[in-house]
Amino acid sequence: MFQHCFRITCSVAILLLLAVWQPAPAQTIAPQNVSLNGEVLDDYGRPVKGATILIKGTATKIATTEDGKFSIDASLYATLVISHPMFDVQEIKVKNSDALQIRLTDRYLHSITGIDTSVINNPAQQKFYLLYENKSPDKLISAVSTIYGNQLSTTPASLYAYALPGRVPGLNVNQARGFYNAQTSALTDVDFFVGNIPKNNSGSGPNDNTEFNIQLRGHAGSSGQEPISIVDGVQREIYSLDPESIESVSILKDALSTILLGQNSSRGALLVTTKIPQAGAPHLSFTAETGTQSSLGLPTPLPAYKYAYLLNEALLNDGRTAAYTSNDFNAYRDGTDPINHPDVNWYDKVISRNPLLTRYNLNVNGGGATARYIVSLSYLDQAGFYKTDDKNSYNTNNQLKRYLINSKIDVDVNKNFNIALQLFGRLQQGNQPGAGSSAILGTLLSTPNNAYAVFNPDGSYGGNANYRTNLLSMVQNSGYLTDNTKDVMANLDLKYKFDNWVPGLWLKAKGNVSVQSSSLISRSKQSPVYNMIVSPAGDTSYTNFGPTINQGNSFTSTSWARYVFAQLSAGYDKKIGDHNFGAMLLYDKKTTLLNYDIPSALTNYAGKLTYDYKGKYMAEGAVNYSGYDRYKPGHQFGLFYAGGLGWNIAEEGFIKDNAGWISQLKLRATYGRTGNANIDRYGYYVYRSYFTDVAGTYGIGTTYQNSIGLAEGGSPPNQVLANVNATWEKADKLDIGLDIAVFNNHLQLNADYYHEKYFDVLQTRGKSIQLIGQGYPAENIGINRYTGAELNITYQNNYKNFNYFITANASLQSSGIVYMDEQFQQYEWNRQTGHPVGQRFGLQTDGFIQTGAEAATTATITGYALHVGDYKYKDLNSDGVINQFDVAPLGKERPIIYYGLNAGFSFKGFAVSALLQGVQNRELYINNGYTEGGFQPQNNGFSQAYEQALGRWIPESAAIATYPRLTAGTNGYNYGPLLYSNAALLHNGNYFRLKNINVEYNLPYKLIRSLKLSGIKVFVNALNLFTWSAYDLVDPEVQLPNYPVQKVINFGINIKI
């Protein structure tokens, strides 16, 4: 199982060996010395402090001052090596004594460690952003991975989440659809004067991420355990931030790093920090880019004559009469009768080839010593893939337009008092055809090529009794829907240091209010379709089908949310000799108001202590008394705690003295008890038994007036008993990690092992007997175990001005159901306990029934007579019947491996980077009747057939068949038998994608200077440029009929002033 992992490790090692080997520096003769002055600038032309200047071949090195200046005595023709952890290394030959102006380029992978403390006393070191604090990486003992803005901005997409897959170990980001999916109906039912029933039980409110399932360490969103999104210290589900405005995304994985979230701490967190104001003259960065999109993983429909032939075969297999004659086949083939024998490839008709994705971003940054600001503006315009009709004065295509503003002002009132104000605003407008994009995609998947002609000779839309809507009419002639989302978030941070009274004591306050509202305007319409009939006498007549619905104009408020977050914290940092102490007290409260729910409030009272000795031994502990008010009063608060220890062995004398090439060798371990308050997923105030109004119940009276009804425990048939004992889910999490940095930090390695026990997981009890007349609620029953290992290896170095890096990560994840109150299972293979969480169970297949004798003797589903060419299911309990007792785990239960490989280089303004992301040991279940189930009944006709069906079982190709014999309509056996899964639909889900590749060129600084600019960068990058998947008839991630995943090729320019 480690085979693949091992292969990656090997290849990384070989690359590293190649990289470490360098030709010996050439001997130089010491010529005369010159006294050099110079300044080091960043890509905005701002001074870089703390860069080291080394005279190559000597031990002479100095650091730049606060204003980026340096002066050094060097021999003529000596080489200066300028390095800084945030920038690529640059070598410059001293040619004369002229003042040097050295511009550094941003490093793709920020090196967090590796400040040369021998020349810099108080390094302005890059810090990890943790929850409500920053921490030097040397002292970090939690499991945290960080992605920097540079890594995000090369991905041409609508959400920063597109750039996450493959970047860090432990985080699995799976794409579910390729385009933003608008909320088109209200999140709540609005029925009567009382009795509005909240439908949104996610507990987190509206979410702009409709494209990705984000999982941390194997925890799925379907169980309410996906990581929490925190933007600038406040929990908000915002994934549409412009990558250009993001400083970093930290992924908090263990108990200690998230414990301050209290009842949300089990889930881990994505901690987004937007760019921070920097002092200096106003600097401006403008990026314009545009890309073309193309769809991946669209299925291949069969031409009409093949479809007709196969459908005849299916009907004959069913013992019915054939629907098509040889004349029909010929007409489909030669296209002589396009009206009555159409052959329309709907994918070509409806989908355009290369819709555009355009983004603009403007960042302004500057300020003085007392006040600094940053303003980031961005605009995104993503077009969908539907063809449009120029006759419409409005857009019918899918479209997403987004305007974002993020501004931050940072004011030092005096040296002890800092005020930071942030305003974030978002306007988003979506558009889609009036028939609805998902309805169109479903129809597209199911409509056969021969269903009807697109247009009749008289120009009307074609259709017939079976197909009462015309697909092209749905796309271009159904009006449009637009959705609007408005977002405002205001953030005020105050920090006061009591250094004048008690040095080290500080007080912080944070207040945040954000409001979001979404609405939908529907201007949809529907036109009838016409069937042209030519009578034997030659008269043409048209029959119309389907209703005429005039273009409407309706407005729906789809969601409204208000979040208020207030936090107060006080801390005290004290250094006594080599002992560093830190203490913090924290109170916060997050109030969420969704639509017209009663606001929910999550409150934390937390305390935290940190200690380290010389940066060698570290200890940290925190407790959090955290409560959520959707539980029964008196049972709302729980105690959560976490602690950790760290030991940096590299700081020990025996390493320092004997193995100085080791700069970091840190062992760390954390353990904690965390909580997950996801009760809102299971209902609204689940501990209360209640009654609720029900619409249109039973019309007593001769006029059948549909009166209001009343039901117990929810609206029928979703009535559920109250769960008076409901409480939060809990987890005991252990994380053991190792951080190594060697060879002057060129090679870094981070490894983690984790063991998490989730318990009190909300599940329905096994003995949920129907006699009670209501559904059983989710109760705190389940125990699941998640374990895994994560590895990240990075090597980065330079050969002269050639800077290069390679970073690889892999994570190995496994899980197991420890307890689930499973009902009694007669057979061992039916038991789910002990198997991985979410393990798919289904019937095992053993090829196809090949002979009539086999059909007569093989076990089958009650009431189904087997035919040759049917799947042969294994009768595990040998009772002669295929039923639920023959259901067993499907596929191999191996730990799943996620990996990513990111490599690149830069040289003289050129930079290239590439990201490969993949999954191993993955199983892919394709549960889609249209491509897998033969002919599905649809609109009274039969659905489209795809190339998969060509592999059907027929006697002539019995040995190589990949698909059961064809049947028309659902036969309840070969596809979705009795709603069980079927091993034949399970495929190898391994894949890897060339997720991102970026090539950029920074124009030479001299040229830029003459234009009075700080920098010009041109770039081309791509998303999903190449995909390899073990099963290649579908996309490995996005399942039909969801909007397909897009390949994007993007060009752009960045100008800095």
Nearest to 247 by CA among 227, 221, 275, 220: 275
Which CB atom, from 161 or from 722, has the smaller least distance to another protein?
A: 722
Q: Does 466 bind another protein (CB under 8 A)?
A: yes
User: Helix or strand or coil: residue 583?
Assistant: strand
Minimum CB separation of residue 884 from another protein in Å reads 4
Q: Which of 10, 190, 881, 1007: binder of another protein (CB under 8 A)?
A: 881
Minimum CB separation of residue 825 from another protein in Å reads 8
Q: Which of 942, 953, 991, 1005: binder of another protein (CB under 8 A)?
A: 942
Q: Which of 978, 1020, 1030, 1057: binder of another protein (CB under 8 A)?
A: 978
Judged by CB under 8 A, the chain residues 316 through 345 that form the site for another protein are: 318, 321, 323
Q: Does 113 bind another protein (CB under 8 A)?
A: no
Q: Which of 550, 770, 878, 1010: binder of another protein (CB under 8 A)?
A: 770
Which CB atom, from 290 or from 832, has the smaller least distance to another protein?
A: 832
**How far apart (Å, rounded) are the C-alpha atoms in residues 68 and 70?**
7
Which CB atom, from 546 or from 1015, has the smaller least distance to another protein?
A: 546
Minimum CB separation of residue 970 from another protein in Å reads 5
Give the DSSP letter string of 866-922.
Answer: --TTSEEE--TT-SSB-SGGGEEE-S----EEEEEEEEEEEETTEEEEEEEEEEES-
Which CB atom, from 417 or from 1028, has the smaller least distance to another protein?
A: 417
**How far apart (Å, rounded) are the C-alpha atoms in residues 37 and 616?**
38
Extended beta strands in 268-416, E state = 269-274, 280-295, 356-367, 371-383, 399-414
Residues 371-410 as x/- pattern, contact with another protein by CB under 8 A: ----------------------------------------
Which CB atom, from 13 or from 465, has the smaller least distance to another protein?
A: 465
Which CB atom, from 723 or from 844, has the smaller least distance to another protein?
A: 723
Strand partners, 517: 486, 560
Minimum CB separation of residue 727 from another protein in Å reads 14
Minimum CB separation of residue 258 from another protein in Å reads 24
Q: Does 459 bind another protein (CB under 8 A)?
A: no
Q: Does 824 bind another protein (CB under 8 A)?
A: yes
Judged by CB under 8 A, the chain residues 492 through 531 that form the site for another protein are: 492, 494, 496, 500, 507, 509, 511
**How far apart (Å, rounded) are the C-alpha atoms in residues 899 and 916?**
8
Which CB atom, from 89 or from 311, has the smaller least distance to another protein?
A: 311
Q: Which of 35, 369, 653, 767: binder of another protein (CB under 8 A)?
A: 767
Which CB atom, from 773 or from 1004, has the smaller least distance to another protein?
A: 773
Minimum CB separation of residue 367 from another protein in Å reads 21
Q: Which of 79, 196, 294, 839: binder of another protein (CB under 8 A)?
A: 196
Instruction: Assess contact for 965 and 867: CB atoms under 8 A.
Output: yes
Q: Does 937 bind another protein (CB under 8 A)?
A: yes
Q: Does 861 bind another protein (CB under 8 A)?
A: yes
Judged by CB under 8 A, the chain residues 542 through 571 that form the site for another protein are: 543, 545, 564, 566, 568
Q: Does 776 bind another protein (CB under 8 A)?
A: yes
Q: Which helix (H) or strand (E) holds 1007?
A: helix 1005-1010
Q: Does 816 bind another protein (CB under 8 A)?
A: no
Minimum CB separation of residue 218 from another protein in Å reads 29
Q: Which of 941, 964, 1036, 1041: binder of another protein (CB under 8 A)?
A: 941
Under rule CB under 8 A, how many of the chain's residues touch another protein? Answer: 100
Burial 403-422 (b: 16+ CB within 10 A, else e): ebbbbbbbebeeeeebebeb
Q: Does 491 bind another protein (CB under 8 A)?
A: no
Which CB atom, from 535 or from 862, has the smaller least distance to another protein?
A: 862
Strand partners, 918: 899, 992
Judged by CB under 8 A, the chain residues 568 through 607 that form the site for another protein are: 568, 589, 591, 596-599, 601
Q: Which of 18, 29, 59, 772: binder of another protein (CB under 8 A)?
A: 772
Which CB atom, from 297 or from 941, has the smaller least distance to another protein?
A: 941
Q: Which of 12, 54, 311, 731: binder of another protein (CB under 8 A)?
A: 311
Q: Which of 823, 851, 857, 957: binder of another protein (CB under 8 A)?
A: 823
In whole angstroms, what separates CA 903 from the centre of its chain? Answer: 22
Judged by CB under 8 A, the chain residues 689 through 748 that form the site for another protein are: 689-694, 697-704, 707-712, 716-717, 719, 721-725
Q: Which of 47, 123, 195, 615: binder of another protein (CB under 8 A)?
A: 195
Which CB atom, from 121 or from 321, has the smaller least distance to another protein?
A: 321
Q: Does 862 bind another protein (CB under 8 A)?
A: yes
Minimum CB separation of residue 683 from another protein in Å reads 10
Q: Measured at the alpha carbon of residue 261, what is the angle toward residues 260 and 264, in degrees to the nearest 5? A: 150
**Other C-beta atoms within 10 Å of 1050: how many?**
23
Helix pair angle (326-334, 304-317), 10° resolution:
160
Q: Which stretch binds another protein (CB under 8 A): 77-85, 488-496, 522-530, 901-909?
A: 488-496
What is the residue type of 364? V
Q: Does 358 bind another protein (CB under 8 A)?
A: no
Q: Are strands 896-907 and 910-920 parallel, antiparallel or unpaired?
A: antiparallel
Q: What Rg do the C-alpha atoms of the chain give, in angstroms?
A: 32
- Lookup result for tokens 């991985």: 836
**How far apart (Å, rounded) are the C-alpha atoms in residues 345 and 353?**
14
Nearest to 1013 by CA among 99, 365, 45, 39: 45
Instruction: Assess contact for 164 and 248: CB atoms under 8 A.
Output: no
Residues 6 or more apart in contact with residue 4 via CB below 8 angstroms? 897, 899, 920, 921
Q: Which of 864, 907, 925, 1051: binder of another protein (CB under 8 A)?
A: 864
Instruction: Assess contact for 676 and 225: CB atoms under 8 A.
Output: yes
Instruction: Assess contact for 492 and 418: CB atoms under 8 A.
Output: no
Nearest to 41 by CA among 85, 96, 110, 101: 101
Q: Which stretch binds another protein (CB under 8 A): 33-41, 193-201, 571-579, 1016-1024?
A: 193-201
Minimum CB separation of residue 324 from another protein in Å reads 8
Angstrom distances, CA of residue 147 to CA of 143, 220, 232, 324: 14, 21, 15, 59
Q: Which helix (H) or strand (E) holds 258?
A: helix 255-258
Instruction: Assess contact for 456 and 470: CB atoms under 8 A.
Output: no
Which CB atom, from 858 or from 988, has the smaller least distance to another protein?
A: 858
Instruction: Assess contact for 136 and 117: CB atoms under 8 A.
Output: no
Instruction: Assess contact for 373 and 367: CB atoms under 8 A.
Output: yes
Minimum CB separation of residue 719 from another protein in Å reads 7
- Lookup result for tokens 């302004």: 364
Burial 443-469 (b: 16+ CB within 10 A, else e): bbbbbbbbbbbbbbeeebbbbbeebbb
**Other C-beta atoms within 10 Å of 747: how many?**
18
Judged by CB under 8 A, the chain residues 13 through 52 that form the site for another protein are: none
Which CB atom, from 663 or from 860, has the smaller least distance to another protein?
A: 860
Structure tokens at 375: 């303003």
**Other C-beta atoms within 10 Å of 687: how many?**
18
